[in-house]
Every structure is written in C-alpha cells, then in structure tokens.
C-alpha cells in the first residue's frame, strides 16, 4: 500500500549547493545505514520501503530521511529510485538553521511526519 504525501515548496531548496544524484534502480540509502543527511527530492521519483513493504512514493518536494537527522539513529527504510533522481542534501547544521530561520519549515516537516505516522498506523 502506498500513498503520496505532502511535498515542500521547492523554492527553499532549489539553490541548495549540496546535491546527490542517484540513477534509476539504485538506492539513495538502505535500512540500517548511518544517517547524517536529510534529503529533499528535486526531480525524479523514488519508493520508500519498510520491511519489504512499499509505504510511500516520493515525488519532487518530498522530504526523505528526516528521522535520522533528527534522532541520529540508523535509517529505518530503504529508498529506491524509480527514475534518475536529484536530491538536495541537508546536514544537521543546515537543518537547525532552517528551523531557526523558517519556523514554517519546522511546521512543514512535522506535518509530513504526522502524515507518515497516520499512514503507518493504518498498516497496523
């Protein structure tokens, strides 16, 4: 079961200097990987997979990997690129800067996490 979730207005990230390019078929990261970055999908399409269940399809504007940057724990999902993908790559200092400078960014990340929790709860 998959569901498209909220996406960010990309203008905040379009000029992000650190980018990660991942070809179709490859993984952005895998469950258990150490996680130091959050990503915002700039272009392409990717699938988020938890315990072999595709829980979400990510489209441009999708926030990915926010949990590891928040709590420092290893990745809790695989992210597989369906097409060639470009991601903006946000490290912890940049993440904290965005929260301090743009409280709406914090609210938006929370909204996305809330939707993830709701859609995961439905799978229980």
**Binding footprint of its own copies on the chain (CB under 8 A):** 50-51, 53, 66-67, 70-71, 73, 76-77, 96, 99-100, 103, 106-107, 109-111, 113-118, 120-121, 123-124
- If DSSP codes are grouped into helix, strand and coil, which group holds residue 115? helix
State the minimum distance, in angstroms, from the CB of residue 88 to its own copies: 18
Main-chain phi, psi angles of 74, to 5 degrees: -65, 165
Q: At what angle do helices 92-101 and 103-123 cross, to 10 degrees?
A: 110
**By C-beta, is 18 or 99 nearer to its own copies?**
99
The DSSP line for 7-18 is ---GGGTTT-S-
Counting every residue, how long is the chain? 124
State the minimum distance, in angstroms, from the CB of residue 113 to its own copies: 4
**By C-beta, is 21 or 99 nearer to its own copies?**
99
**By C-beta, is 39 or 44 nearer to its own copies?**
39
């Amino acid at each position: 079961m998959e569901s498209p979730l909220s996406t960010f207005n990309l203008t905040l990230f379009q000029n992000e200097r650190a980018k990660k390019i991942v070809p179709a078929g490859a993984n952005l990261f895998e469950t258990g990987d150490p996680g130091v970055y959050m990503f915002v999908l700039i272009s392409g399409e990717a699938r988020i997979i938890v315990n072999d269940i595709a829980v979400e399809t990510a489209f441009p504007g999708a926030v990915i990997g926010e949990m590891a940057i928040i709590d420092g724990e290893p990745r809790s999902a695989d992210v597989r690129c369906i097409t060639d993908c470009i991601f903006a790559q946000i490290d912890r200092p940049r993440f904290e800067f965005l929260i301090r400078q743009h409280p709406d960014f914090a609210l938006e990340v929370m909204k996305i996490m809330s939707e993830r929790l709701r859609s995961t709860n439905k799978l229980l």
